[in-house]
Amino acid sequence: MKKFINSVDNMLAESLDGLAAAHADIITLGPERKFVRRRELNPKKVTLVSGGGSGHEPLHAGFVGYGMLDAACPGQVFTSPTPDQIAEAAQEVAGEAGVLLIVKNYAGDRMNFEMAAEVAECRTATVITDDDVAVENSTHTIGRRGVAGTLIVEKIVGAAAEKGVDLAGCVALAERINARTRSMGVALTSCTVPAVGTPTFTLGEDEMEVGVGIHGEPGRRRVTLERADAIAFELTSVIAEDLDAPDGTEALLLVNGFGGTPTIELYLMYNAARRMLEKRGVRITRSLVGSFVTSLEMAGCSLTLTLLDAETTALWDHPVRTAALKW
């Protein structure tokens, strides 16, 4: 296991301390590092709380700040945050308008966010993201997995909350974005969970896992590594067919690296995917390319497509100021 690490037990705490120190103008840590919260809270607006296992950085703590999340709860690596973490974060940022909990569709996350919502002494509503089209059910997941599309929900609903949309409106918007979002990924290498110390799965020197999950869950098939165009064609075909977008629809294309894939390759994949989607009649009007929802040091990437309209485009463009996204 080749990582910059002092000890398995302290890895997450030290990384969170670094994040908080590097972005002290934007965020602060809760007690015992149970959550990362926005330094300046706005008690009048709906507040957004998300979280999940660590190892997907910058998701979610890197998206705490103006225009996006109010707090994020980091679990241990690939492990859900505990109900008390989530409940304390929600209470910390709750105003009169209520708290929206944004939860990726994994059994552990759903259970713990649900328990947190029951015990939290504040008004909450919950939205589940499930944008991964690769498989219908996965390890520890009933239904589709929630993956990189989650950041798009967080960005667009975060902007709406800043503009004063109420809790019911934020829920409806989040469900609408999630319903218009599809993702699918491919892994070229495995990742290694620090506490385990050996790779989560093994791929041959010339193999890739198509449809991989962000914790290394199996995808659709393990095949010989193909050319970038062939990979992009498969991912965009599955996504576009599942979305069944009308000709000429505007969309946001996110090419997301899994942690071990460099920028030069991500832009190459973006170029391939964009050409193919436009050939299908999808107009790519907004783009995001980078490593935003990672799987530790896994080499690979995912494509995410979100259908846009004038309202959601304006919300995407709305200013944001977080550690990982700023405009």
Contacts of 256 (CB under 8 A, 6+ apart): 148, 183, 185, 266, 288, 290, 291, 292, 293, 301, 302, 303, 304
* Annotated catalytic residue, options 23, 60, 215, 318: 215
According to the binding rule CB under 8 A, does residue 214 interact with its own copies?
no
According to the binding rule CB under 8 A, does residue 301 interact with its own copies?
yes
Query: In 3D, which of 325, 50, 311 has the Cα closest to residue 165?
Result: 311
Structure tokens at 119: 């015990």
Q: Do residues 47 and 8 touch, judged by C-beta distance below 8 A?
A: no
State which residue, 55 or 149, has the beta carbon closest to its own copies. 55
- Pick from 141, 291, 306, 312 the residue near its own copies by CB under 8 A: 291
Q: Does 60 qualify as catalytic in the annotation?
A: no
State which residue, 19 or 101, has the beta carbon closest to its own copies. 19
Q: Does 56 qualify as catalytic in the annotation?
A: yes
According to the binding rule CB under 8 A, does residue 41 interact with its own copies?
no
According to the binding rule CB under 8 A, does residue 58 interact with its own copies?
yes
According to the binding rule CB under 8 A, does residue 279 interact with its own copies?
no
According to the binding rule CB under 8 A, does residue 297 interact with its own copies?
yes
**Which range of residues in 161-169, 170-178, 295-303, 307-315 is near its own copies by CB under 8 A?**
295-303
Spell out the long-range contacts of 240-249 with Cβ–Cβ below 8 A and sequence spacing 24 or more: 240/277, 240/280, 240/282, 240/305, 242/133, 242/182, 243/180, 243/182, 243/305, 243/307, 245/280, 245/281, 245/282, 245/307, 246/281, 247/281, 248/281, 248/283, 249/281, 249/282, 249/283, 249/307, 249/308
Structure tokens at 308: 């846009």
Contacts of 177 (CB under 8 A, 6+ apart): 149, 152, 153, 156, 157, 306, 312
Q: Do residues 44 and 8 touch, judged by C-beta distance below 8 A?
A: no
Q: How far apart are CA 193 and CA 198, in angstroms?
A: 7
Q: Total number of residues binding its own copies (CB under 8 A)?
A: 59
Q: CB 109: neighbour CB atoms within 10 A?
A: 26
**Which range of residues in 16-24, 105-113, 131-139, 238-246 is near its own copies by CB under 8 A?**
16-24
- At 237 the three-state DSSP class reads helix
According to the binding rule CB under 8 A, does residue 227 interact with its own copies?
yes
- Residue 319 beta carbon to its own copies: minimum distance, rounded to whole angstroms: 11
- Pick from 28, 91, 126, 271 the residue near its own copies by CB under 8 A: 271
- Pick from 34, 45, 53, 54 the residue near its own copies by CB under 8 A: 54
Q: How far apart are CA 271 and CA 244, in angstroms?
A: 22
State which residue, 124 or 294, has the beta carbon closest to its own copies. 294
- Pick from 166, 289, 313, 314 the residue near its own copies by CB under 8 A: 289
Restricted to residues 152-191, the positions that interact with its own copies (CB under 8 A) are 188-189
- Residue 322 beta carbon to its own copies: minimum distance, rounded to whole angstroms: 11
Q: How far apart are CA 292 and CA 154, in angstroms?
A: 12
Structure tokens at 171: 């829920």
Place of tokens 């391939």: 272
- Pick from 107, 125, 172, 268 the residue near its own copies by CB under 8 A: 268
- Residue 46 beta carbon to its own copies: minimum distance, rounded to whole angstroms: 26
According to the binding rule CB under 8 A, does residue 2 interact with its own copies?
yes
Interface with its own copies by CB under 8 A: which residues?
2-7, 11-12, 14-19, 21-23, 54-55, 57-58, 62, 188-189, 205, 208, 225, 227-229, 231, 259-272, 274, 284, 287-289, 291, 294, 296-297, 299, 301, 324, 326-327
Residues marked active site are found at 56, 215
